[in-house]
């Protein structure tokens, strides 16, 4: 039990997390399903994302055409997204109107229609989305790097899926995926906002507890073997600008080294959402004229994934020169511990991003469900305390372990007609 949070498991296995916040008459409701692109087999890639789209096409009780209007009319907003490990749907509504969201989610957990004409229409939409992405240099390069990084593990394909599969997935494939994974014992419902816990829990039980639990398919567990040497690849495509992306294998979100790596990430590239112009790689590469821009990011995943650094090249410079400067900067951290003051600055920046992403009611409800996908709420509630304990030696150690050139993938994007 965490402070101010009630956690209950319903008789059908569905997990419910409730947090009362009485700062405004608003409630945010999120329902999470433990299914994402990592749960897709060859021939069915992209099916989780496509299923998410179909969930907005409605049920008999809530036809698709009226859903948007009903939520908007009540002053609410709603959306959904699919990730590698999970799919989530949310509604943030005036507190007096949240029952609409709960009725909608309990109904579409079992009664989404998956009309054949809607499936065909959505196929066109998703193929068009995929075609648009293929014209984006960073999508093409990122996808190639993912394929090279994961030969065995199901993280090897993009969330949108492969074009060949998007053309051949059937209505029955989609419906069977939905019926397999959209069951209460594979779901977490998280609510934060202006409600009474006892009354809310009673209503949730009325709506969700009658839904029978399902028989879940086992999750794919295929650990990626360690790379034996640096992999290099080149992607050619439209555009005027050359890019390099460097991908290092990174541990999963519950690994003991994860927080030290968050500090290292902040130190190298800045914590996401804040100015990164004072960070080491920006100063070494952008300020000194080697590249136009640089960025880096990781993801919180169930299994080990990647930390990616992207370099946007200048037309008058060779990509190899910038890569050499990048390697030099990383080697400095590996060879000599950074100062305590620099670590403290990086921790402070990471803390600020974390705090900013936790401040409103929608974010509070998000974090309860999100951490349940790969850990539990204690991951969130202890994050800042653990971050503050990261030392310069911790940062040096993880730099030595995870930033090894012989384990990385380096991809170059070359605009058509330009030589590398």
Question: What's the whole-number mean pLDDT along residues 394-408?
Answer: 97
| Secondary element (H or E) of residue 333 | helix 319-335
Q: Kindly list the structural domains of the chain, giving each domain's residue range(s) and its CATH number in brackets, ordered by start.
A: 5-208 (3.30.830.10), 231-415 (3.30.830.10)
* Other Cβ atoms within 10 Å of 359 Cβ, number: 9
Residue 335 and residue 399: Cα distance in Å, rounded? 9
The predicted pLDDT at position 6 comes to 97
| Secondary element (H or E) of residue 289 | none
The string of pLDDT tens digits covering residues 31-74 is 999 999 999 999 999 999 999 999 999 999 999 888 889 899 99
The predicted pLDDT at position 277 comes to 75
The phi, psi pair for 217, rounded to 5°, reads -65, 145
The string of pLDDT tens digits covering residues 100-147 is 999 999 999 999 999 999 999 999 999 999 999 999 999 999 999 999
Question: What's the whole-number mean pLDDT along residues 390-413?
Answer: 97
The predicted pLDDT at position 242 comes to 96
pTM: 0.94
pLDDT band at 1 (very low <50, low <70, confident <90, very high): very low
Q: What is the DSSP string of 218-276?
A: PPP--PPPPPSS-EEEEEEESSS--EEEEEEEE--TTSTTHHHHHHHHHHHH--TTS--
Residue 267 and residue 403: Cα distance in Å, rounded? 14
Residue 141 and residue 162: Cα distance in Å, rounded? 15
Residue 282 has which token pair? 């920006």
The string of pLDDT tens digits covering residues 260-278 is 999 999 999 986 545 567 7
Residue 127 and residue 224: Cα distance in Å, rounded? 29
Residue 42 and residue 168: Cα distance in Å, rounded? 12
Helices (H), 1-97: 47-54, 64-73
pLDDT band at 349 (very low <50, low <70, confident <90, very high): confident
pLDDT band at 420 (very low <50, low <70, confident <90, very high): very low
The string of pLDDT tens digits covering residues 210-266 is 999 999 988 878 899 998 999 999 999 999 999 999 999 999 999 999 999 999 999
What is the C-alpha end-to-end distance of the chain, expressed in Å?
57
Q: What is the mean pLDDT of the chain?
A: 94
| Secondary element (H or E) of residue 76 | none
| Secondary element (H or E) of residue 26 | strand 26-33
* Other Cβ atoms within 10 Å of 40 Cβ, number: 23
The phi, psi pair for 168, rounded to 5°, reads -115, -15
């Amino acid at each position: 039990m965490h402070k101010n949070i009630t956690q209950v498991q319903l008789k059908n296995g569905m997990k419910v997390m409730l947090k009362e916040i009485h700062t405004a008459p608003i409630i945010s409701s999120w329902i999470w399903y433990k299914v994402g692109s990592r749960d897709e087999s060859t021939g069915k890639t992209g099916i989780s994302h496509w299923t998410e789209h179909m969930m907005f096409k409605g049920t008999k009780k809530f036809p698709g055409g009226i859903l948007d209007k009903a939520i908007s009319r009540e002053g609410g907003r709603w959306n959904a997204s699919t990730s590698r490990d999970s799919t989530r749907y949310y509604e943030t509504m005036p507190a007096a109107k949240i029952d609409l969201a709960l009725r909608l989610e309990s109904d579409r957990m079992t009664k989404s229609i998956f009309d054949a004409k809607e499936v065909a229409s959505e196929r066109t939409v998703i193929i068009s989305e995929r075609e648009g992405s293929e014209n984006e240099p960073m999508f093409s390069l990122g996808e190639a790097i993912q394929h090279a990084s994961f030969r065995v593990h199901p993280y090897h394909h993009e969330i949108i899926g492969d074009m060949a599969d998007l053309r051949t997935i059937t209505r029955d494939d989609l419906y069977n995926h939905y019926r397999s994974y959209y069951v209460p014992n594979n779901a977490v419902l998280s609510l934060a906002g202006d409600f009474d816990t006892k009354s809310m829990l009673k209503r949730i039980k009325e709506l969700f507890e009658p839904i029978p639990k399902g028989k879940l398919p086992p999750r794919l567990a295929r650990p990626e073997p360690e790379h034996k040497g640096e992999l290099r690849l080149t992607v050619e495509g439209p555009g005027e600008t050359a890019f390099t992306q460097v991908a290092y294998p990174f541990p999963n979100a519950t690994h003991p080294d994860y927080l030290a790596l968050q500090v290292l990430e902040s130190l190298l590239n800045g914590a996401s959402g804040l100015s990164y112009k004072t960070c080491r790689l920006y100063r070494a590469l952008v300020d000194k004229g080697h590249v136009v821009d640089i960025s880096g990011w990781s993801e919180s995943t169930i299994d080990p994934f990647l930390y990616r650094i992207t370099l946007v090249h200048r037309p008058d410079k060779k990509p190899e020169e910038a890569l050499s400067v990048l390697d030099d900067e990383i080697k400095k951290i590996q060879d000599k511990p950074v100062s305590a003051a620099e670590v403290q600055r990086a921790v402070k920046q990471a803390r600020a991003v974390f705090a900013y992403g936790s401040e409103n009611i929608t974010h509070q409800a998000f974090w309860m469900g999100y951490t349940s996908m790969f850990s539990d709420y204690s991951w969130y509630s202890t994050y800042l305390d653990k971050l503050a304990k990261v030392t310069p030696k911790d940062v040096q150690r993880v730099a030595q372990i995870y930033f090894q050139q012989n384990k990385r993938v380096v991809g170059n994007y070359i605009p058509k007609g330009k030589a590398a």
